[in-house]
A and B are shown apart, each in its own frame.
Chain A
Amino acid sequence: QKEVEQNSGPLSVPEGAIASLNCTYSDRGSQSFFWYRQYSGKSPELIMSIYSNGDKEDGRFTAQLNKASQYVSLLIRDSQPSDSATYLCAPRMDSSYKLIFGSGTRLLVRP
């Protein structure tokens, strides 16, 4: 079993729709969770972090965490073509500061 699992996609949604990106992780010691966005040919950049069970909202982005189910998700409301990118889920064990990245979900937002 991979440490971090993400559907590779592509996930295709129309402009204005809600995009839902999911991630499961195997290490129950993970306490911090991050979502990075990576445009083609570019480096990853942080867009959201979440530490507690529940939802965290930041603009059009909402991160959801369920530690009991070892599940974290990212919702993008009012999706724009500029949101088309690969989204990487990255849990971190606070004991080691190691960020383990999932393989990413490619999102395509159709105009």
Chain B
Amino acid sequence: DAGVIQSPRHEVTEMGQEVTLRCKPISGHDYLFWYRQTMMRGLELLIYFNNNVPIDDSGMPEDRFSAKMPNASFSTLKIQPSEPRDSAVYFCASSFGVGEKLFFGSGTQLSVL
């Protein structure tokens, strides 16, 4: 298996633009997590899904952020409009059931100018 695949690896955009981050979890995994990592705040959980259903989105910073999981093999995190403070590394991770191990993707480095 190729692991969790995220795209793009790097995204540079201007303030006010829409940004869409993509994630393909490991086949067979039924939990998908979106995390954001910054120097100031560390690794923060934004939202997670179980069997494509959002379970907890309490970490989503504001209405500008939205996430979807239309099927078991694909999820998106959208920011509209983007702001400079959204600059961070966004990680997607997946796991199987209540399995202990989160498998992280390589992350998307987002820079909002």
Contacts and interface: CB of A to CB of B under 8 A. Distances in A.
Q: Is the interface of B mostly helix, strand, loop or mixed?
A: strand
Nearest to A102: B42
A61 to B, nearest CB: 15
Q: How large is the interface on B (under 10, 10 to 19, 20 to 34, 35 or more residues)?
A: 20 to 34
Nearest to B101: A46
A43 B107 contact: yes
B100 A104 contact: no
A107 B75 CA distance: 34
Interface in B63-79: none
Contact of A43 (B45, B100, B104): B104
A43 B23 CA distance: 14
Q: How large is the interface on A (under 10, 10 to 19, 20 to 34, 35 or more residues)?
A: 20 to 34
Contacts of A44: 43, 91, 102, 104
B56 A96 contact: yes
Interface string B36-71: 000001111100101000011000000000000000
A87 interface: no
B106 interface: yes
Nearest to B104: A43
B98 interface: yes
Interface of A: 32, 34, 36, 42-46, 49, 88, 94, 96-104
Interface of B: 31, 33, 35, 41-45, 48, 50, 55-56, 91, 98, 100-102, 104-107
